[in-house]
Amino acid sequence: MKNKFIRLACLLVTLALTQESPAFYNPVKPPVKGQKVNTSAKNIKLPAGFSASIIASDLGATRHIAISKKGDLYVKLSKLKDGKGIYLLRDTDKDGVIDDTKLFGDYPGTGIYISNGYLYTSSNSAVYRYKLNANEEVINFDQPEKIVGGLVDKGRDNAKPLAVDKQSNIYVTIGSYNDPCREAGSGKGMNPCSILDSAGGIWKFNSEKLNQTFADGIRYATGLKNSVGIAWNYHTNSLFATQHGRGQFHDFYPQYYTAKQSAELPAETLYELHQGDNAGWPYIYYDQFQKKKILAPEYGGDGIKTGEEKALNPVVAFPAHLGPNALLFYTGKMFPEKYRNGAFIAFHGQSPELHKGYLVAFVPFVNNKPSGKWEIFADNFAGTDLAKPTGPIGHRPCGLAQGPDGALYVTDDLNGTIFRISYKKRK
C-alpha cells in the first residue's frame, strides 16, 4: 500500500511539473473555427528576386507533394477529403492557378514520390504504387499495387515518408510512438529500447516487389525518433534525413533542466545516412549549444554527460522544436547558382530560441557537403509575429517539390494551401 501511495505522489508531481514548460514558452496556436487569419502570399518574406504566389487553397491537410515532368501536382492528404487521400492538380490554361482537380486513393498519409515510371504513395501503415504513362500521368487510379503492408501505426508520429534510389530501393520512415522510449509511469527509459525493432528508424524495401511485409525490409538506419523529411541525394548516392527532437526535459527532470532549457533543447538535426548507421535515439540527443551528443536523462544523463560516441553526428543542427517535415535537394536552373544541389527544409513548428517558425530554410552544399551556416529562405508563413503575435498562425509548411521549370512548391497542412516560389533576376 505504501508503494502505491508513493507512485501516486510521483505521478501527481509529474503532472504538476508538466504544466511548467508552457509557462516559459506559449507557442502561437492554429486558428479556431471561424477565426480570421492572414493568408496572403504577399506575407511571405523571400530573398531579393524571389516571389511567392498561391496556386491552390482550401484543399485540406496537404502533406508531401510530387510533380510530374509536365507540371501536374500529386499531393498527399493526411486526412481524407470526400473519402479520398490524394489530389491530382493541373493548371490547364497556364495562368498560375490550379483549375482542374481530381481526388483518388482511399487512404490518408504523407509519403508521395515519382520514380521509375511509378507514383509511390503511402498510408500510415503501407506503401503503394500507381503506374504512370510517358507523361507521368496515373493510368490506374482505382487499382494501386501494394508494395509493403503491416508497418507500425500506433497513432503518434505515424507518417511514412518515402525516398527512392536508382537501384530500385524504396526507403520508408517508421517513427517512434514513444517520445523518449520511456517506461510507462516511470522516469526511466526502456533498456534496451524494444521500440527500435520496428520503429525509430528508416527501413529499406524493394520498390519493384509487390505484397511485401515488414519482415521483408532491411533496417537501413536506426536511432531516429521521427524522420519526416527524407530524400535520396543522387550526387552523394546516400540518404539524408531530418529528425524531430524529443522533449519534456524539465517536465520529468527539473533537477537537471530549467524550463528554458527544456524549450530550447534538443537540436532538430539533419543526417547523412548509410546502411547500418545509428543516430543514437533514445539514448542520446544532440545539444546544439554544447555541440555534443548528450546522454539522455532516462539513461542516466544529467544534461552534461556525453554518451554513445559511436552514434552518428548530425551534418547540420537546427534550433529545437522547429519540426522539419520535408527535405528537397534543389537541382533546377531557375534559382541562382548558390542554391544548386543545396537542401531546402520545410519547418512545421516554431522555435522559442529564435521566436521564428513555419518557414523554409536553406542549407548550402559545396562538394556534396553542407557548407556554411543554414539560412531562412522563406519566412512568415505564420502571418503573425511569433515573438509578439497579434493572431493565430495562418500556414504550416509541410511538403516541398521542384517544378519542371525549377520553381519551388510548398504545401501547407493547416489551410490546404500550395505556394509556388519563383525567381526572376532583377535588371
pLDDT digit string, tens, across residues 249-301: 999 999 999 999 999 999 999 999 999 999 999 999 999 999 999 999 999 99
pLDDT at 24: 63
pLDDT at 7: 40
Would you state the cell numbers that stand for residue 411, as one nine-digit string?
Answer: 504545401
pLDDT at 20: 35
The domain of 203 spans: 2-423
User: In sequence order, which ranges of 186-330 are alpha helices (DSSP H)?
Assistant: 249-252, 259-264
CATH number at residue 92: 2.120.10.30
Task: Provide the edge-to-edge strand list for the sheet that holds 50-56.
Answer: 50-56, 418-423, 408-412, 397-402
pLDDT at 17: 32
Helix (H) or strand (E) holding 95: none
Which stretches in the chain have pLDDT values below 70? 1-24, 33-36, 38-39, 427
Q: What gap in Å lies between CA 243 and CA 279, rounded to an integer? A: 10
pLDDT at 26: 75
> What residues pair up with 90 in beta bridges, in sequence order?
100
Q: What gap in Å lies between CA 224 and CA 202, rounded to an integer? A: 8
pLDDT at 39: 67
**Beta carbons of 416 and 59 less than 8 angstroms apart:** yes
C-alpha 400: how far from chain center: 10
Single pTM value for the model: 0.93
**Beta carbons of 248 and 297 less than 8 angstroms apart:** no
pLDDT at 9: 39
Any idea which residue has 525567381 for its cell?
423
pLDDT at 185: 81
Count of structural domains, the chain: 1
pLDDT at 12: 37
pLDDT at 426: 74
pLDDT at 147: 98
pLDDT at 427: 65
Q: How far apart, in Å, do the first and last CA atoms of the chain sit?
A: 80
